[in-house]
Amino acid sequence: AQSVTQLGSHVSVSEGALVLLRCNYSSSVPPYLFWYVQYPNQGLQLLLKYTSAATLVKGINGFEAEFKKSETSFHLTKPSAHMSDAAEYFCAVSDLGGGSNYKLTFGKGTLLTVNP
């Protein structure tokens, strides 16, 4: 079974500082990896996804992530944090299960706080 570990349930940064949210995955086959963001009282919105093309993936709102197979990591970064980035972030791996079954396995999430 595939799994995702997000290091740090809460990350706090100052506005304008680098954002780094860590995600490590476990998978026996090449995975598809996703980062989602959830604002209070809302559903999840896709930030970016890795589907075995370029290892550096650019997403919305200035976020990007780099797939590193040797480290089984898919960390999310943003050069300069904005107050509007405050939200909870989830890393997920797609699980093909048996046959053509499909589901997402999520990490526990990282709450990002941005201080003025």
Partner 1 sequence: KAGVTQTPRYLIKTRGQQVTLSCSPISGHRSVSWYQQTPGQGLQFLFEYFSETQRNKGNFPGRFSGRQFSNSRSEMNVSTLELGDSALYLCASSLSPGLAGGGRGANEQFFGPGTRLTVL
Among 35, 107, 110, 112, binds partner 1 (CB under 8 A): 107
CA–CA gap between residue 107 and residue 116 (Å, rounded): 28
First-to-last alpha carbon distance for the chain, in angstroms, is: 41
- Tell me: does residue 70 bind partner 1 (CB under 8 A): no
Toward partner 1, which CB reaches closer, 81 or 90? 90
28: closest CA among 76, 75, 74, 69? 69
Told to check if 54 binds partner 1 by CB under 8 A, we report no
Stretch that binds partner 1, among 17-25, 61-69, 78-86, 95-103 (CB under 8 A): 95-103
Q: Which of 26, 45, 113, 115 binds partner 1 (CB under 8 A)?
A: 45
Q: Judged by CB under 8 A, how many residues of this single chain contact partner 1?
A: 29
Pick from 96, 89, 30, 39: which is nearest to 59 by CA?
89
Candidates 17-25, 27-35, 58-66, 72-80: pick the segment binding partner 1 (CB under 8 A): 27-35
Distances (CA, A) of 7 to 54, 66, 76, 113: 24, 16, 12, 15
Q: How far apart, in whole angstroms, are the C-alpha atoms of residue 68 and residue 34? A: 14
Applying CB under 8 A, the residues found at the interface with partner 1 are 30, 32, 34, 36, 41-46, 49, 51-52, 90, 92, 94-97, 100-109
